[in-house]
Amino acid sequence: MSRESDDLFDCIVMADDRFHVEGYREGFNEGTRQGMIDGRKHGASHGAKLSMEVSFYYGFGITWKCLLQNNATLIKQSLLGLIQKFPHKDPQFENLQEDMEKVRAKFRQVCSLLNVPTDFSDYVKSGGSGGMSF
Amino acid sequence: MKDTLALVQKFNAHPDSRCWYVAWNPNGMLLASCGGDRAIRIWGREGDSWECKTVLQDGHQRTVRKVAWSPCGNYLASASFDATTCIWKKKNDDFECLTVLEGHENEVKCVAWAPSGNLLATCSRDKSVWIWEVDEEDEYECVSVVNAHTQDVKHVVWHPTQELLASCSYDNNVCVYKEEDDDWECRATLEGHTSTVWGLSFDPSGQRLASCSDDRTVKIWKECNTGEGAYAGWKCVCTLSGFHGRTVYDVAWCPLTGALATACGDDGVRVFKEDETADPDQPIFFLSAHVPKAHAQDVNCIAWHPKEAGLLVSCSDNGEIALWNYQSENI
């Protein structure tokens, strides 16, 4: 009997707390769901940018390799090195940044060796411009 | 006798613009300066004073930030904000532009020749350091591009005897590079400064490296050898703090006397001497001479004469170059 009355009062007294907990749980789940969607979009766009850059270098490398079939071995070696550094289909997160930097650096060096002007501003990110410099 | 730093001559080198850098040629007969007016000037001694011998005006489209003489003295390299590095060949009293090295994405901040004369290093605001090789036919080829820094690279300097390169950056670090399998890599990152590192200088033996920074200190780094074959790295063995009122823009270790000179944003020039009695692994430097208002504005560069002990040159934001005579009881 006393247990029943306890339960009755329990419902009323703990109502606030219960709704609080329920509300939190619902909100958390909603947020997780939304976060997943946003995160996925973000990852997709980031991944797309990165692969766009890598595939650009890949295409560049292969094209020049074909064009230089007959010529200088040293340049071909650098190009082959460039292409070999590419198989980053799997995002091995740890070294990704470092390897990307190495690939970018190799690309710049190859452009310099081939005397190709590097105005690929549509495809490759470049630093800021203009204004003061020290 | 108290150590003194006396003014020998002061003159306006780059009218209405900054004088960014001054460099002595290897035999000390010529002084090259460069500035915001996009010109490079070559100065030669006439009796007791230094006079302008040549002006190289049309080499660059923007500020020339640094100039460097090749070890043989026949070539001059100039690094410019127009993203190119120009190589000039000396022909009697004149210089002719031999080639223009392109490739950096934006402002080139420094150029330096290796002591062997076959290699050249450049660094830029694009965060990369490029190493170029030159062959007997004066052909330049880029052998490596290294992205070890995460920000604008301010200065590069070669080791006096080994094929070792050091660079410093706006990212507060100093990087040391060595060649490994035909490619240059960063072998050590020296962390310690709390702001932009502007300049570097190796001591005459190459065992120690001095770095100067926007954090108003100068740090001395020593290579530590574990003796096991693995590359151990460098550690900071001394920090000179409390001496400079503002950013220290340049540091120069005298190859003849071992004295250390600094160029500061508080318009002063300072010379430090090493305490001979200190433990070599924990060196102590004390302020030997100081000229508080050496220039009317920031002092950008300081360089010791390669042959004449005690002769020092500095240049400033107001376009002036000053020559100093440093006298110390031990010299």
CA–CA separation, A107 vs B73, rounded Å?
Answer: 33
Pull the structure tokens for residue B6.
């006396």
pLDDT at A80: 65
User: Is A118 in Cβ contact with B103 (below 8 Å)?
Assistant: yes
In DSSP notation, B79-108 reads EETTS-EEEEEEETTEEEEEEEE---SS-E
**CB–CB of B116/B122 below 8 Å?**
no
pLDDT at B151: 95
Size of interface A-B (CB pairs under 8 A): 44
Pull the structure tokens for residue B321.
């170059």
Residue B110: what are its φ and ψ, rounded to 5°? -160, 155
Q: Between the CA of residue B303 and those of A100, B89, B181, B299, what are the distances in Å?
A: 38, 22, 35, 12
A11 vs B34 pLDDT, higher one: B34
User: Is A126 in Cβ contact with B128 (below 8 Å)?
Assistant: no
B94 vs A66 pLDDT, higher one: B94
User: What angle do the packed helices A73-84 and A93-114 form, to 10 degrees?
Assistant: 160
pLDDT at B74: 95
Residue of A121, A122, A99, A106 lying closest to A64 (CA atoms):
A106
Amino acid at B266: D
CA–CA separation, B302 vs B312, rounded Å?
Answer: 7
**Is pLDDT of A7 > 50?**
yes
In DSSP notation, chain A reads -HHHHHHHHHHHHTHHHHHHHHHHHHHHHHHHHHHHHHHHHHHHHHHHHHHHHHHHHHHHHHHHHHHTTTS-HHHHHHHHHHHHT----S--HHHHHHHHHHHHHHHHHHHHHHT-----TTTS-----SS---
**Is pLDDT of A2 > 70?**
no
pLDDT at B84: 95
User: What angle do the packed helices A15-67 and A2-13 form, to 10 degrees?
Assistant: 50
At A129, the pLDDT band (50, 70, 90 cuts) reads very low
Mean pLDDT of chain A: 76
At A126, the pLDDT band (50, 70, 90 cuts) reads very low
CATH topology of domain B4-327: Methylamine Dehydrogenase; Chain H (2.130.10)
What number is the ipTM of this complex?
Answer: 0.75
**CB–CB of B108/B85 below 8 Å?**
yes
* Residues in chain A within 8 Å Cβ distance of B102: 112, 117
A22 vs A75 pLDDT, higher one: A22
C-alpha atoms less than 13 angstroms from C-alpha of A26 in its C-beta half-sphere: 6
Residue B42, C-beta contacts closer than 8 angstroms, at least 6 positions apart: B30, B31, B32, B52, B53, B54, B55, B56, B95
- Tens digit of each residue's pLDDT, chain B (331 residues): 579 999 999 999 999 999 999 999 999 999 999 999 999 999 999 988 999 999 999 999 999 999 999 999 999 999 999 999 999 999 988 999 999 999 999 999 999 999 999 999 999 999 999 999 998 888 999 999 999 999 999 999 999 999 999 999 999 999 999 998 888 999 999 999 999 999 999 999 999 999 999 999 999 999 887 655 566 689 999 999 999 999 999 999 999 999 999 999 999 999 999 998 999 889 999 999 999 999 999 999 999 999 999 999 999 999 999 999 999 976 4
Task: Describe the strand order of the beta sheet including B140-146 as a list of residue ranges.
Answer: B108-113, B119-124, B129-134, B140-146
Out of B102, B107, B146, whose CB is closest to A105? B146
Sign, Cα dihedral of A38, A42, A48, A54: negative
User: Is B127 in Cβ contact with A112 (below 8 Å)?
Assistant: no
pLDDT at A14: 86
Q: Residue with structure tokens 């010791």?
A: B304
A28-53 pLDDT, tens digit per residue, is 999 999 999 999 999 999 889 888 88
pLDDT at A65: 76
User: Is A106 in Cβ contact with B102 (below 8 Å)?
Assistant: no
At A77, the pLDDT band (50, 70, 90 cuts) reads low
At A130, the pLDDT band (50, 70, 90 cuts) reads very low
**CB–CB of B58/B52 below 8 Å?**
no
**Residue A77 contacts B, CB cutoff 8 Å:** no
pLDDT at A40: 95
User: Is A126 in Cβ contact with B147 (below 8 Å)?
Assistant: no
Every domain of chain B and the residues it spans: 4-327
**Is pLDDT of A95 > 80?**
no
Phi-psi region of B266 (alpha: psi -120 to 50; beta: other; left: phi over 0): alpha
Eight-state DSSP code of residue B193? -
Eight-state DSSP code of residue B67? E
Burial class (CB in 10 A: 0-12, 13-18, 19+), A38: exposed
**Residue A97 contacts B, CB cutoff 8 Å:** no
pLDDT at A89: 56
Out of B81, B106, B141, whose CB is closest to A113? B141
Mutate to test the interface with A, among B145, B184, B214, B297 (most CBs of A within 10 A): B145
